Amino acid sequence: MANMKKLHTFSLWESPQAGMFKEMLAQEGISCLVKNDRLSSAIGEIPFIECFPELWVIDDEAYPRAHLLLDAWLTPYNNPQAEEPWICPVCGESSEPQFSICWNCSRPRE
């Protein structure tokens, strides 16, 4: 029986990307879900962070790999000068460097 494990609590500036990180982990074969304590107040978390989404790994055996992946994705996100945005060759949209798929058409970055 797998245990769920909390991977990350998104900060205010990261929270709009919570769903995208969940999809990116799914593409790596890691099942996750996003909890927002505003929608699950029964957990009894600290009210101050209740509006910040949390990313949970459904199978805790995948946690170490999920943690490494998320760290790699979040590092440039919190250091925006580290890399330039990249242009999707299919739809021509510009994606932020921390994302490995196009935000618009989900094409993997080359």
Site residues, Zn ion (CB under 5 A): 88, 90-91, 93, 102, 104-105, 107
Residues 6+ apart with CB under 8 A from 57: 4, 5, 6, 7, 25, 30, 31, 32, 63, 66
Shortest Å distance, C-beta 96 to Zn ion: 13
Cβ distance to Zn ion smaller for residue 64 or 89: 89
DSSP-derived 3-state class of residue 78: helix
Pull the structure tokens for residue 83. Answer: 């890399």
Cβ distance to Zn ion smaller for residue 45 or 86: 86
Cβ distance to Zn ion smaller for residue 45 or 93: 93
